[in-house]
Structure formats: structure tokens, C-alpha cells
Structure 1
Amino acid sequence: MRPTPGLVYLSHSSHRILLPLVLVWAATYVTDLRGFILPRWLVLCAYVLAIPIAIVVSDTWTSYNNKRDAVSRGAILPKLVGYRWPFGLDTILSLRASFTTRYLGNAVFDWADQYGYMFRFRVPGETRVFTAEPEHIKRILATDFSNYEKGPNFRLQMQTLLGTGVFNSDGDMWKFHRSMTRPFFSKDRISHFDIFDRHASDVIDKIRSRMREGYPIDWQDLASRFTLDSATEFLFGRDVQSLSAPLPYPSTAPIANHLSGNSVAMAFSKAFLDAQVTSAGRARVLFPWPLLEIFHDRVAKPMEIIDKFIDPILKDALEKKTASNIKVEKSGELEISDEDTLLSHLVNLTDDPQILKDETLNILLAGRDTTALTLTCAIYQLAEHPDILRRLREEILNKVGSARRPTYDDIRDMKYLRAFINEVLRLYPAVPFNVRFTINPTEWPSQEGEPPTYIPANTRCLYSVFVMHRRKDLWGPDSLEFDPDRFIDERLHKYLTPNPFIFLPFNGGPRICLGQQFAYNETSFMLIRLLQRFSSIALMQDSHPESLPPAGWARSKGSNGKDRVWLRSHLTMFANGGVWVKMDEAQNIEQV
């Protein structure tokens, strides 16, 4: 049985907690021996204040050393965001409010106006560095890759959900997991399109049925089911059949109901979401979160539901391998057939069920949530821009027709579709904020004419492609506007071509997303199939008031003031309350 996060934290950090208390006890003991009996209230105050004082002393000493080291290198420390409350409590409260009630990253955009796109800020227990500078992110992800890691804090945060999988490991363990999955993503596979087509047909049937009832659909819910069913079939050879469950109705509908029907599918989907939300939320408490989970692991309960689905599949796959007398091979020696699932590929590389579970869950997270967000925001923008919808649909009909299944060549040749998806990925990258920890001290370039910026060892470095993708100095004065043509016209050569690291929806460097092409294909396929059957889309957020952004939303600096969807983030971005739309069926659809 895996120890709780709290016990793991205490085993690694007990000296930080116990040492101040031991010092108070020792001081009290010595005074007692000398005949000085301290008042109980004073002893109690000493115990209560011991840890906060130790934190202040440690922080002061660390700050002094960092300043000294920076000076010795001829460098400077990043600008510090001002704070008024002890330990930067007001800073983290501003960040939490930004994530929950304001436009995504609102506090960061405000601070960037004052301090630039690289600064440090104080939170209880540490000083963190933030950057949205392309050169810094390039160093983190590529040119100085070996000096950055996910780090033990992040790994503990995600351990229950992702284990030691590729997104939650460093060093040799990361290389091992990466080498296992890379061959499976190294070529396009016809079977992928077979999977997409089956589930896209289910999506279209669901939409047509709901439109006949006269009620809007939550497209985010439907896109998430499409990518969940596609991802689980891709991974395991069988899907959770979430598309077979009834769709929700908007809250204003007279027959609004709770989801029912396929309880196994919806339980899996809900558990997977709960596990992500809880894992992400661990990093947003005001003190070390593991201390809240000493006696229980808050992610363990949803994981029980996930395990009930995955464990029998893993057991069956390993038993089939044993019965076939297949020996573990090195990944480089394997031939992968078009009929293989990722799991059938992985069982040829390892017999360890925990490694298999960790890796499949990591890929499930990447393959389901990221593409679901891209499809969600794609339909949102098509509803907001009928002219873009008409132009995109015209390209689809001219290239594929109104009924034929698209091929790889079709998708590759559709330039406007690719530009449209890129623009969605620019404004709505699935992972808006990410983190790495420095291993050794390093220096980042500053503005021209200024000394380099010193980044100490073991510093939590937050970087945001969401913020970087919206910078006017990097993308032009219209950076907050949705315009796919920026990936086709002269703006492409003016901004992106000279500096490709300003566009990183799939990260970059050695950890670049292995499933990048898979995501493009899945998104393209679903959009083509959808626009073959539906000629217009209308946003209906008023039908479900819970989906409307809060007051003051449009005044946020990261927004163009026109946003009608409430973007939030756990591990990935999502639309709070959903994206509710109505669609009109196209006429004169060909018969194939």
C-alpha cells in the first residue's frame, strides 16, 4: 500500500519541522536546569512561533546568499513583486482569485505591466520565478534542458494520479518511459482514423437528436466524451463508451436532469476529472499541502474507480502475453503493426503492471483533455465568427465533399484548417501554465544593456505559453483577436518565422509532445466531419447561466473584452460550466 503524501512529505522534511521545536525544547530544558522556570504562556508561544521564525530566518539567509551569489556573477535577481502580508500571503491570494473569479492569469498580466514578463514573487515557504519570455522558455525546454526537472515537489503532487509516468518523471525514469511510447507515435496509422470515425458518428448522432428536441448541447461535454472514448480505445483496444450516456440539458430547460444511464462510463469520466482537479489543487493551498493528507490521500478515492476499469484490462493483456510466450523486447527491436494498441505495444516491453498503468494514464490524460480543450475552443470560435466558419466549411466541401471520410492527404492539404487549429492552440493552449525546478544555479539573459538575471538552484520556475501567446510585442497589436490568417499571411514571416519559440502549444525540446500529430489529426477529423453535416453554429451560454463569466471578466488584460466563455484551469484549461451551442444541419448532403 502506497504511503500517504503527508507521510512521504514528513519523511523528507521532518528536520525542517522538528528542528525548531527541538531547539525550543532544548532551550527550555537548559533554563530549567539552571533554576529559571519560564512561564507556561511563554513556552507555549515559543513552540507556536518556532516554525514561523525558522522560516523567516531561513528565508533571510537564503535571500542574502542569493544576492551575494548574483553579485559574484555580475548578475541581478529578477524583480520582486511587492507584497504587504507576511510570507506573501496576499500574493498567493491574488493568484487564487485570478484562477477562480477573474480571467485566466489576470494577476500575471497585471504584474507583467509593472515588472515585465519575467519576475519573482513571494508565497509562503518559497520565492518563485515566473517567465513568459521566449528565450527563457527555450532554455528551460531545450538549450539548457538538463538543468531543469519536474522536481520532487511536483512529482509528489501528481504521484497518486500519474505515478512515475512520462509526465511525472525526470532523468533516467523519464527516458525509460519516453523510449517506451515513442515508437508507437512515430508513424500515422489508418486505425486511428477508424477510431475517430466511429466515435465522430456517435457525436453527430447525439447532436442531431438533441437539435430535434430544440435544446442546445454542451459541446465541451460532448468533445470530452469523444476524446475519452477515442483515447481509451486507442490505448486499451476498448473504450469506456461515455458517448452512450445521456447528454445533460441546460439548467434553464424544463427537463434539465442529472446524468444517468451508463453509470460505469460517467463514473470513470467524473473520477478522472476529480483526480485531476484534486491533484492540481494541491499546489494552491497556503501552506505545504501534504500536511493536510497525513492520514488519507484525497486522490485515492477517484483512483479506485479508475482502477476498476483499467486493472482488468491490464491483467487480461499480461495473461495473453504469458499464454503466447512473448518475451520482453527492447523498444528499438519491435515491429509495431497497424492493429496494435498502445497497451499491446507496452506489454511487449515490460511485465510490470504499475509501469503499464502509470504510462497509460499519462497518455490518457494527454490524449483526452488536451484535444477536448482544442475542440471545445474551436467550436466556440466558429460560433463567434460565422465568416471563419463559412470559409473553413468551403475548404472542407471543396476538398472532401459533404460525406466522404477525410484521408491523411486531405488533412495535410487543407491549409486554412491547419491555420485555424493553430490559432485555437495559440489563444487556448491546453496547458496554460507549467513548471520546472532548476537543478544548478544558472543565468538568464536580460533586456539589452542589462546584466544577466541570476536564478538560484532549486528554484520553482513557472512559465506560461498562454501569456506568451497573447503578447502584443511578440504577435502584433491584434494578438488578442482570433484570426487564423496570421498563420498564412505576412504576419507569419514577421513574427513566428524569425522566432519559432513564441508558439509552443505542444511544448518544445526533448519533452515535446509525442502525440502532436495525433492531436492534429483527431481535431481535424472531428471538425471536418462536423462541418460536413452542420452549416452554422450559435453560442447559447444564456441557456446555462452557470457558464457565464463573472462580472468584470472582460476588463482583464489578457482578454480582448469579447469573451463569453469562462476559462479556468486545473492541469489543463477548461470552460467552466461548458460551451452551449445550437447547430443547423446542412442541406444536400451527398450519399457515399
Structure 2
Amino acid sequence: MSLVTPGVAFLCRGVAYLSVYVGSTYYGASQLAIYYGVEIPNWVIITGALIAAPVLGRLYVSLRDFKHKRRAAALGARVVPRIVGAKIGNLDVVERAMNNSEKGYVGEDMQDPLTTLGPTFNLNIMYSDLIFTTSPEHVKLILATDFQNFVKGERFGESMRSVLGTGVFNSDGEMWKFHRSLTRPVFARDRIADFDIFDRHADQVLAVLKQRLREGHAVDFQDLMGRFTIDTATEFLFGTCVHTLSAGLPYPPNATYLPNGLKSSQKNAADEFADAFLKAQEIIANRERLSWIWPLFEINKDKTADSMKIVNAYIEPVIKEAVERKRNSPPQDKNVDDKEAEKEGCLLDHLLDVTTDPVVLRDETLNIMIAGRDTTAATLTFVIYLLSQHPDVLQRLRAEILEKVGPNRRPNFEDLKDLKYLRAVLNETLRLFPIVPFNVRQSVNEAIWPSPIPSEKPLYIPPKTSVVYSVFLMHRRKDLWGPDAEEFDPDRFLDDRLKKYLLKNSFVFLPFNAGPRICLGQQYAYNEMSFMVIRLLQSFSDISLDLASAPKEAVPPADWAKGTGRKAIEKVRPKNHLTMYASGGVWVKMTEATN
């Protein structure tokens, strides 16, 4: 284990800064003493410097804030309104965020400041500006119109680096452009090979699902979709499937009769990889909640180290084998059109055409793994959850599928374009449970944002300021989506509300981000999710949530019913790390269709 943990490195930097400060103070005081001909004991100078440090620090913060206010006024703007916490450095705000991530509803800790301060405010964690926004106008500036001025930034990069490395989600500038260029070709068009992959693994999903349901047990659909998407993702990424669907599904924790005495699936290496990757993502998400002080919570060790040891042990041999395979493969036929060649082959094959650097390959595949596995699995999970709570939507969707595709036929590209209600169901799910609920950028230079309150002056964003934007909370704003914004209603993507809300401002709906960093795999995700939903509803006519089979952590606390909005009616526990998921899974039973 490395002795240079994030916490130790953080403290070393702090000690270095303090040493420079004390040394400078000592030298200055000594020179003054000599000049005035007085003697000041060394211990007095050093003690005085240490005592004065927090005072000087607070003075620095006050001067910085004063400078920002003056600069804002000079530009005809105002500083972003701040949360005034009850504890030093707004540590109570951090505590609420950490507590809410464990026990509360997603984004609930932001509701009070959103109500009192408006859609854009300053969390000011440990005297460091941290702007939070749910304003589509501001999100548009961050992601598109002022894209060059808002980067991931060094602080975000440092907190994510132990997991994401310098992959596409954790890089800026030329490095980001390089990673983007690596993955763009394979996502550039619909590929028949993708549907072949979906079909093989969808057949496996249906087989294991029917087997378990026929035993009389509920199925954790989140676990099932996690297996489906990791099998498809590894085949898409590496050209080699890890076959997690073959490992067997977990049984409900309260199951009494189990065949062969089995309590759950036998975890294989791919399961352990998925569990470790999930844990690593939870840790780096908590780092963001803790703001710049997160290293202080990792003094003894890098909390991601154990998980990433498992992740790397799994992925590095796969990459090594692919590199060797590429090295020993015959040269590509020059008569083959490059554009035709792009249509087939796994992502790793395309990456190997550009680089054989194992670090670059690992970072890029892990970044795409999050996009291709976690996000699609989560959306499919929430689709099934919402259909279980809205049988009318399920029956209407199933009727469309049977009419357009039929009860058995494999869907094709044209079918997906023709299934308008299916796309509306997916979009409505992505609206209520967007894949990446919170995201962060850092300003390079100062910026002026329009005021969310028309009568107020615009907002001043200082340079090098962290900015968090929440698509999750923006998607649920009633002034942007109507009074029924927290209700599940796919028709809002088909009726007059589409023109009234979404077409008026496309930035109110951003499940796949926007601007130059828009998700390259957006169409791939829609294809995979659509394909799986079609296959499921061809085979099953009814879906019900089975709370009796769910573990304790999957069931919302009783006091949630006293809450407001979706919290009061939710039957699962939405949570998030980098992406959305349901705590404890989504346990369902389904009725096989007789058609």
C-alpha cells in the first residue's frame, strides 16, 4: 500500500504552505526587530504567526469576497446568493449532503435553498465558492455557448483520477479531444453487429428470467439488467463476453425454498468486478460531496485502492490479450473501405488502431464501461419500475409493440424509429431519473450569467470557480415542465406539452448532456434500451413490484409517505453515485404472455 495517500499528500501540501508562511513571517519579524533594535524571542514570533494564521486566512477570504463584489458591480452584475450555514465553513451543508446521500431522497437537501435563494446559489463550502444551478439558461452556457470557459478542472480531475484516470470523462483540452477522437468512429452510425449482440444476450435474459419466475420467486431486475448490460458492454468493448448472466441470479433474501439449497448466485470474476467498480464510484461521488476537503477523510489510505485493485486485475489481462491479438493479426486488407471497417469490430479494436498504451486503453474502456453499462442498466430498471406502477402505460406500450413488431420477431432499426410511444416512455423515464443527476465544471475565466429573476442584476461567476448543475432537479421543475412535472406521463413527449415546454427550450431536457461533450453513445443506448423493452413486453404481459421479496434497504422508510412530490409515492429508493440506481434493487414478478 502506498504511503502517499490522498490525505497525506493533502497534509504535506498544507504543511509546505504553512512552512512558507511561518518562514516568511519569521524572516519579516526578525528584520523588523533588527531595524528597530529590539529583541523578540523566536518562540514568540513562531507562536504569533501560527495564532495569526486563521485570522489572516479569514481576512484573505473577506478581501477576496470584497474584490468579487466590486468586480461584479463594475460589470453591472451581482455575486451569486450564498447559503448561510449554521457551522463554520458551511460544514452543516456538507453533513446534510452526506446524510441525504445515505438516507434521504435524491436532491432533497437542495430544496430549501432552491426555494429561498432561487435556481442558482453558492454553497460556499469551507469558504470556497461552489455554485449550484438548475437553470437551463446557465446549463446551456456551461455546456454549449460558453463551453471553452467551463472545464472539468484540476480539483475534479484529482478526486476522480484514481478511478477514471485521464479518460474522456475526466480530461480537458487536447487530452479530451484525443479521447473523444478514439471513441467517435465506433459510435458514428448504427451497426447491425450491435443488434446481434443485443439479441443474443436478450435471449439469455428471457431464459433466466422465466426460469426464476417459474420457481415462484421475484427477480431483482436491477441486478438482471446489470448482468445484461455488462455482458453486452464487454462484448462491445472487448469482443469477449464475461457471461455474468450464466452465473445465476440472486434469490430474494426472504426466500424459504431454494433448489439445491442455493441461496444466491455464485459470484464470478465479472460479478466481483462489477461490485468493486460500483464501490469505487460511490467513493469518488462522496469525494465531490465533501468538496476540496475530501483528502482529510482518506488520511490512512486511498479508499478506492482496494476496489480498483479488483477492477484492474480483471480488465488488464483482457487488454493485454487484445494488444497481443492485434500485434499478431495480419495487416488489414487495403481494399476494405475504412468506413465499412468502422461499422464492425469491438471498441478495443478501434482503440488499438490508434494506441497500444495500456494506461490509455484501460482508462478509456473504464470510462466507456460506465456509460455503456451502469447508465443503460439504471434506465431499464427505472422503466420497469415505472411500468409496474402504471399498468395502463404498460398495456398501451405492449399494444404498440405487438402491432408494429409482433409477438416474436426481432426488432430492427426501422421498428425503433416507428415506435413513438416506446421512445416517449424512455424519455419520460430519463426525465424523472436522468442517468447522471449531478455534474460539475470549473470556470476558467470570469463569466456573467443572466439572472434567473428578471428584475435582478445578472450573476457574476469568478474565475476558477466550481459549478455543479443538476439535470435531475431541473427535469422536475414545475415552471419548466408544468404543474405535473413530478408525475410519470409519457404523453408529455407526444402532446401539446412538447411544444409548450421542450421545443421552446431544448436545454430543459438533457439526459445525455449537450454541446461538444454530448454523449457519443446516445443512439447506442436508445437502441439497446428499446431492444430490451421490446423483447420483454413480447414475452410478458404484466409486471408487479414485489416489496415483500425486497431487502430492507430497497424499501423507502415509512416517513417518506409524509414527504412531498415523488418522495411521498416512491416504492423504491433512488440513489446516485456518478449515476442513478435503486438502493437494494427493484424486485419484480412478471406474468408470461399468452398472446
* Same fold? TM cut 0.5: yes
Contact residue 75 and residue 452 of structure 1 kept, 8 A? yes
Contact residue 5 and residue 156 of structure 1 kept, 8 A? no
**Among 159, 165, 169, the residue aligned to 1:167:** 169
CA displacement at 1:28 relative to structure 2: 9.3
Q: Distance in 2 between matches of 1:399 and 1:66?
A: 59
CA displacement at 1:450 relative to structure 2: 2.2
Match of 2:583 in 1: 576
Q: SS of the residue aligned with 1:223?
A: helix
Match of 1:505 in 2: 511
Whether 1:533 and 2:533 are equivalent positions in the alignment is no
CA displacement at 1:279 relative to structure 2: 1.7
CA displacement at 1:542 relative to structure 2: 3.2
Q: Distance in 2 between matches of 1:13 and 1:43?
A: 17
Whether 1:289 and 2:294 are equivalent positions in the alignment is yes
Q: Distance in 1 between matches of 2:581 and 2:194?
A: 25
Q: SS of the residue aligned with 2:589?
A: strand
Of residues 296-305 and 162-171 in structure 1, the stretch that sits farther from structure 2 once superposed is 296-305
* Partner AA of 2:123 in structure 1: F
**What is the number of residues matched between the two proteins?**
583
Match of 1:546 in 2: 553
Match of 1:566 in 2: 573
Match of 1:462 in 2: 468
Output one character per residue of 1:17-71: Cα deviation in whole Å (capped at 9) or x when no partner: 544454676699899996556989x977974x66644542332222111111111
Q: SS of the residue aligned with 2:456?
A: coil
* Partner AA of 1:388 in structure 2: V
CA displacement at 1:260 relative to structure 2: 4.4
Match of 2:323 in 1: 318
Match of 1:481 in 2: 487
Whether 1:445 and 2:447 are equivalent positions in the alignment is no
* Partner AA of 2:401 in structure 1: I
* Partner AA of 1:267 in structure 2: E
Q: CA RMSD in A?
A: 2.7
CA displacement at 1:326 relative to structure 2: 5.3
Q: SS of the residue aligned with 1:559?
A: helix
Output one character per residue of 1:236-260: Cα deviation in whole Å (capped at 9) or x when no partner: 0112221122222222223587644
**Structure 1 residues 298 and 580: alpha-carbon distance in aligned structure 2, compared to 1, 3 A threshold:** same
Output one character per residue of 1:115-170: Cα deviation in whole Å (capped at 9) or x when no partner: 11111122124121111111100000000000000000111111111111110000
Contact residue 22 and residue 46 of structure 2 kept, 8 A? no
**Among 522, 525, 528, the residue aligned to 1:522:** 528
CA displacement at 1:223 relative to structure 2: 0.9
Q: Distance in 1 between matches of 2:5 and 2:43?
A: 38
Match of 1:357 in 2: 362
Q: Distance in 2 between matches of 1:298 and 1:28?
A: 43
Contact residue 554 and residue 586 of structure 2 kept, 8 A? yes
Contact residue 537 and residue 582 of structure 1 kept, 8 A? yes
**Among 365, 381, 401, the residue aligned to 1:376:** 381
Of residues 366-375 and 90-99 in structure 1, the stretch that sits farther from structure 2 once superposed is 90-99
* Partner AA of 1:528 in structure 2: I
Whether 1:153 and 2:158 are equivalent positions in the alignment is no
* Partner AA of 1:562 in structure 2: I
**Among 78, 93, 99, the residue aligned to 2:101:** 99
Contact residue 24 and residue 50 of structure 1 kept, 8 A? no
Contact residue 132 and residue 469 of structure 2 kept, 8 A? yes
Match of 1:60 in 2: 62
CA displacement at 1:98 relative to structure 2: 2.5
Q: SS of the residue aligned with 1:507?
A: coil
Contact residue 155 and residue 292 of structure 2 kept, 8 A? no
Whether 1:404 and 2:409 are equivalent positions in the alignment is yes
Q: Distance in 2 between matches of 1:347 and 1:162?
A: 19
Q: Distance in 1 between matches of 2:593 and 2:510?
A: 35
Match of 1:226 in 2: 228
Q: Distance in 2 between matches of 1:573 and 1:366?
A: 12
**Structure 1 residues 100 and 314: alpha-carbon distance in aligned structure 2, compared to 1, 3 A threshold:** same
* Partner AA of 1:370 in structure 2: T
Q: Distance in 2 between matches of 1:371 and 1:242?
A: 16
Q: SS of the residue aligned with 2:273?
A: helix
Q: Distance in 2 between matches of 1:24 and 1:555?
A: 57
**Structure 1 residues 406 and 50: alpha-carbon distance in aligned structure 2, compared to 1, 3 A threshold:** farther
Q: Distance in 2 between matches of 1:50 and 1:393?
A: 70
Of residues 56-65 and 250-259 in structure 1, the stretch that sits farther from structure 2 once superposed is 250-259
Q: Distance in 2 between matches of 1:558 and 1:55?
A: 42
Task: Calculate the TM-score normalised by the size of structure 1.
Answer: 0.92
* Partner AA of 2:533 in structure 1: L
CA displacement at 1:189 relative to structure 2: 0.5
Output one character per residue of 1:543-583: Cα deviation in whole Å (capped at 9) or x when no partner: 22321112432444552621111111111111111111111
Identity %: 49
Of residues 18-27 and 453-462 in structure 1, the stretch that sits farther from structure 2 once superposed is 18-27
Match of 1:235 in 2: 237
Q: SS of the residue aligned with 2:410?
A: coil
CA displacement at 1:349 relative to structure 2: 0.8
CA displacement at 1:440 relative to structure 2: 0.2
**Among 213, 217, 220, the residue aligned to 2:219:** 217
Contact residue 5 and residue 299 of structure 2 kept, 8 A? yes
Gaps of 5+ in 1: none
CA displacement at 1:100 relative to structure 2: 2.1
CA displacement at 1:263 relative to structure 2: 2.2
Output one character per residue of 1:388-420: Cα deviation in whole Å (capped at 9) or x when no partner: 000000001111111111111111100000000
CA displacement at 1:300 relative to structure 2: 2.3
CA displacement at 1:285 relative to structure 2: 3.5
**Structure 1 residues 252 and 261: alpha-carbon distance in aligned structure 2, compared to 1, 3 A threshold:** closer
Of residues 463-472 and 13-22 in structure 1, the stretch that sits farther from structure 2 once superposed is 13-22
**Structure 1 residues 325 and 173: alpha-carbon distance in aligned structure 2, compared to 1, 3 A threshold:** farther
Task: Calculate the TM-score normalised by the size of structure 2.
Answer: 0.92
Q: SS of the residue aligned with 1:122?
A: coil
Q: Distance in 2 between matches of 1:557 and 1:38?
A: 61
**Structure 1 residues 516 and 51: alpha-carbon distance in aligned structure 2, compared to 1, 3 A threshold:** farther
* Partner AA of 1:495 in structure 2: Y
Match of 2:499 in 1: 493
Match of 1:270 in 2: 275
* Partner AA of 1:364 in structure 2: M
CA displacement at 1:5 relative to structure 2: 3.5
Output one character per residue of 1:58-97: Cα deviation in whole Å (capped at 9) or x when no partner: 3222211111111111110111122121111112122222
Q: Distance in 2 between matches of 1:178 and 1:286?
A: 27
CA displacement at 1:453 relative to structure 2: 0.6
Q: Distance in 2 between matches of 1:438 and 1:335?
A: 41
Contact residue 244 and residue 268 of structure 2 kept, 8 A? no
Q: Distance in 1 between matches of 2:279 and 2:450?
A: 40
**Structure 1 residues 20 and 539: alpha-carbon distance in aligned structure 2, compared to 1, 3 A threshold:** farther
Q: SS of the residue aligned with 2:441?
A: strand
Contact residue 28 and residue 38 of structure 1 kept, 8 A? no
Q: Distance in 2 between matches of 1:105 and 1:248?
A: 30
Q: SS of the residue aligned with 1:126?
A: coil
CA displacement at 1:345 relative to structure 2: 0.6
**Structure 1 residues 87 and 19: alpha-carbon distance in aligned structure 2, compared to 1, 3 A threshold:** farther
**Structure 1 residues 259 and 63: alpha-carbon distance in aligned structure 2, compared to 1, 3 A threshold:** farther
**Structure 1 residues 444 and 14: alpha-carbon distance in aligned structure 2, compared to 1, 3 A threshold:** farther
Of residues 258-267 and 383-392 in structure 1, the stretch that sits farther from structure 2 once superposed is 258-267
Of residues 91-100 and 127-136 in structure 1, the stretch that sits farther from structure 2 once superposed is 91-100
Output one character per residue of 1:271-327: Cα deviation in whole Å (capped at 9) or x when no partner: 111111122222233762224446643222222222222212222222233234759
